[in-house]
Amino acid sequence: MAKDLYEARPAARALLDQANDILGFDILNVMFNGSADELKQTRVTQPAIFLHSVAVALSSDQFQPDMVAGHSLGEFSSLVANGCLSFEDGLRLVYQRAMAMQKACEAKPSTMAAILGLDDAVVEEVCASIDDVVVAANYNCPGQLVISGTIRGVELACEKLKAAGAKRALPLQVGGAFHSPLMEPAREELAGAIEAAAFKTPVCPVYQNATASASSDVTIIKKNLIDQLTAPVRWTQSVARMTQDGATQFIECGPGKVLQGLVKKISPDVEVSSL
Q: Which residues are catalytic?
A: 72, 179
Residues 6+ apart with CB under 8 A from 188: none
Rg from Cα positions in the chain: 18
DSSP type of residue 65? -
The answer to whether 260 and 229 have CB atoms below 8 angstroms apart is no
Q: How far, in Å, are 93, 118, 171, 215 from residue 152 at the CA level?
A: 31, 21, 12, 37
Tell me how far apart the alpha carbons of residues 229 and 135 are, in angstroms, rounded to a whole number. Answer: 13
Of residues 23, 16, 95, 11, the one with CA closest to residue 51: 16
Of residues 214, 203, 205, the one with CA closest to residue 240: 214
